Amino acid sequence: MTDYEKIDFSSILALAGDEVVTHSPVRDIRLPSGKVLALITLDNGRDHTRPNTLGPATLTELGETLSGLKARAAAGEIQAVAITGKQYILAAGADLSDISKVQSKEQAKLIAQLGHKVIGSLSELGVPSFAFVNGLALGGGLEIALNSTYRTVDASAAAVALPEVFLGIIPGWGGAYLLPNLIGIENALEVVISNPLKQNRMLKPQQAFDLGIFDAIFPAANYLENSLAWADAVLGGKKVERKNEPGKLERLTKWPIAIKMARGMLESKIGTVPKSPYAALELLDKAKSGTRAEGFAREDEALSELVTGDQFAASMYAFDLVQKRAKRPVGAPDKALAKKVTKVGIIGAGLMASQFALLFVRKLRVPVLITDIDQARVDKGVAYINDEIGKLEAKGRLDADGANQLRGLIHGTVDKSEYADCEFVIEAVFEEVGVKQQVFGEIEKYIAEDAILATNTSSLSVEEIGAKLAHPERLVGFHFFNPVAVMPLIEIVKTPGTNEHTLSTAFVVAKGLGKNAVLTADAPGFVVNRLLAKVMGEAARAVYEGTPVADVEKAFSPLGLPMGPFQLIDLVGWKVAAHVQDTMVRHFPGRFYANENFHALAELEQVVEKDKGGRVTGWTKAAEKALKGHLGSTPASAETILQRVQDGLTQEIKLMLDEDVVPEVEDIDLCLILGAGWPFIDGGASVYLDREGASERVFDGTFHSPPIRGIAHV
């Protein structure tokens, strides 16, 4: 087994020159029983906006601290060690900026080994160790807790998770071995693999406690005092029961079955391209037997393999976009120019409009007005919003007072004069230029001259929509993605006439809604829908050539998108998809594919058959009838379909950059990651297309110079 004490870690310490070091000061606390507990408080000296992270220098200092405490324990000076964090935060995991600097597989392995050496020593101090998880605990932060003998959690902690698989790696400091042996294989599969693949879902403290990750949960008000008292009781003999800890029967029967089912689920949902979920699955499988030291050695190998690969390099690029670029939108005017929004108007009361209203009222806490062509539609919209507020209350996400306050802020009417005091008005009406022009023309008569008008169009020209306005300079595109409450992106569309006050207000409102905004020029389809139209068009082309729909879905799997093209069309709606395709073909007739027969399919109640996982397996009988006589007899191979979509995406992205639709390719990738669920392991589209050779094929170059590749391929 690996002797971590004999390893020379100096080469990775050299990477930590600009590391924000999280220090580990210690204070002794005499417990009521008279026993002494040494309490380590992790603290990087910054406020909560800069979480504690675990880089090489941090780990080295923590290792020295723990070594000193081990000596004190041997001398009988202390009877326990506990570790907690600064206010609101234990640790947000490894310092990823340091990991991304590694130059070789050997260095990557050293990072895994240093974590195992230091954090693993929490279980080898000669006295019990306690983790008091007082706040955010992600990745290595949670692994600190897992390596401790006992664990408590603050009920108000922001989140608990092992998100590594989302980033293209695995829990590499004990998590993949210790967690399944603590909470059982099925629970561990949820935390380590399923949650990261569900847009990086986190656990709330109560959920983590219920799974058995923590031994006790205490309210924030007296969290440290309660944790210390509980630790004293444990030291005095209090029995700690762990109901989810796996026994022999689970290891022999349930464990292999759960692994087999998880593998089948992964293969059907994400294909076999992503490496980290399968590496994690392998580690969880092997954790059912063998020693802790063997488990740690397996993690060392797996982490070093993944950290040097292309998928981790792409993930770090994507992570940087989401963590930095998304928070400082390129092209956003000074926020001081924004108009203060104290009332919002929404034109329409259908499903989309009602989702807007719910989001605006929840996030901005201002009065929200909805209108429609008759009172029955308005009443239906208001009823939907109130029902959704009721659901949030039932789930405990709103208290009774908060729910009633939100209901009081929603008002529905057919009287358009009530828009007079709205500073921000957004339409959610039928996707047709004339309809949008008409409703804006009606509303403009009532609103103030400096009130902002926003259109949620997904592909129409914003400038054309505003062509008949008296003040077109106050119109901006404000394109949400479905489902409105969940998808984090808003494309803010600037026309040649949009003024800075309008644009600034749009960015400030988007931030207030908790969304990430990306500025785009007024071009057909903007960014996301233009590229998804390329994907959907190539899928339709293959079908009309005669390729079975299920084969087309499979051909697209290497792209790594969260769903196949026809599954996506079924989600957004066949009428909407047909409309978007027509729009793109009208503007770019030689580059996009549409088929008139698509409209016949769009009229059907159900177009495709799906399996239990929602994946498309074939056409309905009604669709087969509608398609009869329209399908060719020359099916395309999976390789042909994939290359056509790769080259088509490459061509469109290059043209979008040449046409200044967005400032840089990073903005296109950010839009695809946030608005289309493009996986982190691809780094958006551009990194993937460079890596697959499509950029070279299409324009004899690459989007990134040098291309973003892992160390193993540099």
* pLDDT for 563: 85
Instruction: Please give the sequence-ordered ranges of beta strands (E in DSSP) within 92-185, or none if there are none.
Output: 129-133, 136-138, 150-154, 160-161
Q: In what order do the strands lie in the sheet with 410-413?
A: 410-413, 368-371, 344-347, 424-427, 452-455, 475-479, 489-494, 516-521
Below-70 pLDDT ranges, the chain = 712-714
The helix-helix angle for 565-572 and 574-587 (nearest 10°) equals 110
Predicted local distance difference test score (pLDDT) of residue 270: 81
Count the Cβ atoms, other than its own, within 10 Å of residue 243. Answer: 7
pLDDT of residue 17: 76
What local confidence, expressed as pLDDT, does residue 247 receive?
A: 94
- How distant, in Å, are the alpha carbons of 139, 387, 473, 573 from that of 382? 42, 9, 31, 24
- What's the pLDDT at 499? 97
- Summarize pLDDT for 579-626 with one digit per residue, the tens: 889 989 999 998 999 999 999 999 999 999 998 878 899 999 999 999
Q: How far apart (Å, rounded) are the C-alpha atoms in residues 119 and 59?
A: 8
| pLDDT for 713 | 65
Torsion of CA 192, 198, 203, 206, to 10 degrees: -110
Q: How far is CA 358 from CA 352, 355, 384, 642, in A?
A: 10, 5, 9, 40
* pTM score of the predicted model: 0.90
Question: What is residue 139's three-state secondary structure?
Answer: coil
Nearest to 466 by CA among 425, 517, 507: 425
- Which helix H or strand E contains 616, and what residues bound it? strand 616-619
Bridge partner list, 697:
none
pLDDT of amino acid 714:
55
Q: Which amino acid is at 601?
A: L
Cα 334 to the center of its chain, rounded Å? 28
Share of the chain above pLDDT 70, in %: 100
pLDDT per residue as tens digits for the range 508-521: 999 999 999 999 99
User: What's at 463, amino acid-wise?
Assistant: E
Cα–Cα distance for residue pair 479/458, rounded to 1 Å: 6
> What is the token pair recorded at 350?
């259908």
| Residue 153: φ, ψ to 5° | -140, 145
